[in-house]
């Protein structure tokens, strides 16, 4: 390593080129962190660079692909060579995925899981040895409200976020003896390019029209009221800096309400919610159970 460890904490934010990742990288840089934002291609980080300059902060770019073992290893090695330490890892990079289980190919599940679960695991495995050696560190895994609530017709996305939650919950116990903290951030609907990239509905049979229609109704309602990604960035900073840490942090539109609603209802109520023939009845029951109005 070329640089000795220094007093300014070093944070790595994955998926820093847009949305929550970009807002988080800039927010952490504005609050005293030396920030590395990971991007797949430096040439496409124009908006990130411009927004960082406008905010008067420095976000260093780290080019790597979280789906590739060697790319992650090499990218983190370059950061450690430059800094000598990584104090905070924010695993934010992720993709969506719409499909009902009947019509979602196993390859689609694996593609989404490779980003949303395995990408986080790859990055964690690069920082945990040095965090253990130092006896400190924080890993923030950005999950989703669908990591706690199996949102309709998003089976591959839901499965990947539930897997991320389970891995993160186990990790929190595994690394607690080494002074390392784990936080799971669970945003609801947040302004992000992920929605524009997540419009496919593989409804080959035509049997699931209602399920997809209700999914997109939730999207449309949520997008109209979506939280600014800076709200999630503030939650992430709080999770890192607080003296009273907790494991999970719901935030953004619908996040707290939907998670609390699912925890309060029975499994029978959950299944019955899906058994409505009429959309109006579904939306009314959704509001009763979650306190969120979709119309």
The answer to whether the CB of 187 falls within 8 A of the CB of 142 is yes
Domain locations in the chain as residue ranges: 10-208+227-264
- Predicted pLDDT of residue 258: 95
pLDDT in tens, 90-136: 999 999 999 999 999 999 999 999 999 999 999 999 999 999 999 99
* Residue 21 pLDDT > 80: yes
CA pair distance 284, 48, nearest whole angstrom = 41
The CA-atom distances, in angstroms, between 287 and each of 63, 251, 254, 280 are: 43, 18, 11, 11
- Predicted pLDDT of residue 156: 97
* Alpha helix positions (H), 135-253: 155-175, 209-224, 229-241
- Overall average pLDDT of the 239-248 stretch: 98
Percent of the chain with pLDDT over 90: 87
The answer to whether the CB of 85 falls within 8 A of the CB of 5 is yes
- Predicted pLDDT of residue 172: 98
- Overall average pLDDT of the 13-41 stretch: 97
Tell me the pLDDT band of 200, cut-offs 50, 70 and 90. Answer: low
How distant is the alpha carbon of residue 233 from its chain centre? 11
CATH 3.40.50.720 fits 10-208+227-264, yes or no: yes
Mean pLDDT for the chain overall: 94
∠ Cα 289 292 295 (to 5°): 115
Handedness of CA 154, 160, 164, 170 (dihedral sign): positive
CA pair distance 253, 167, nearest whole angstrom = 25
User: Does residue 36 have an active-site annotation?
Assistant: no
Given 157, 208, 212, 282, the catalytic residue: 157
- Predicted pLDDT of residue 205: 85
Percent of the chain with pLDDT over 70: 95
- Predicted pLDDT of residue 197: 54
* Residue 254 pLDDT > 50: yes
- Predicted pLDDT of residue 4: 47
* Residue 1 pLDDT > 50: no
How, if at all, do strands 59-63 and 34-39 pair?
parallel
Tell me the pLDDT band of 46, cut-offs 50, 70 and 90. Answer: very high
CA-closest candidate to residue 193, choices 20, 13, 66: 20
- Overall average pLDDT of the 207-229 stretch: 90
- Predicted pLDDT of residue 226: 84
- Overall average pLDDT of the 71-87 stretch: 98
Task: Give the three-class secondary structure for 13.
Answer: strand
Tell me the pLDDT band of 198, cut-offs 50, 70 and 90. Answer: low
């Amino acid at each position: 390593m070329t640089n000795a460890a220094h007093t300014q904490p070093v944070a790595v934010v994955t998926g820093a080129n847009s949305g929550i990742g970009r807002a988080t990288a800039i927010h952490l840089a504005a609050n005293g962190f030396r920030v590395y934002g990971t991007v797949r291609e430096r040439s496409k980080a124009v908006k990130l660079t411009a927004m960082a300059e406008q905010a008067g902060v420095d976000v260093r770019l780290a080019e790597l692909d979280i789906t590739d073992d060697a790319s992650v290893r090499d990218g983190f090695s370059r950061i450690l060579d430059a800094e000598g330490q990584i104090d905070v890892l924010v695993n934010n990079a992720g993709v969506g995925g719409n499909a009902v289980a009947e019509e979602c190919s196993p390859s689609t599940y694996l593609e989404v899981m490779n980003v949303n679960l395995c990408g986080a695991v790859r990055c964690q495995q690069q920082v945990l040895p040095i965090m253990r050696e130092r006896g400190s560190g924080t890993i923030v895994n950005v999950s989703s409200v669908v990591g706690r609530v199996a949102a309709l017709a998003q089976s591959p996305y839901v499965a990947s976020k539930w897997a991320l939650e389970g891995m993160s919950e186990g990790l929190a116990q595994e690394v607690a003896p080494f002074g390392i903290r784990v936080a799971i951030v669970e945003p609801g609907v947040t302004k992000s390019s992920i929605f524009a990239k997540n419009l496919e509905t593989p409804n080959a049979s035509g049997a699931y029209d209602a399920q997809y229609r209700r999914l997109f109704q939730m999207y449309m309602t949520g997008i109209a009221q979506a939280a600014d990604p800076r709200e999630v960035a503030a939650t992430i900073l709080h999770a890192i800096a607080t003296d009273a840490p907790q494991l999970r942090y719901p935030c953004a539109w619908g996040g707290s309400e939907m998670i609390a609603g699912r925890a309060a209802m029975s499994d029978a109520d959950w299944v019955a919610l899906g058994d409505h023939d009429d959309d109006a009845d579904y939306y009314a029951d959704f509001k009763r159970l979650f306190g969120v109005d979709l119309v």
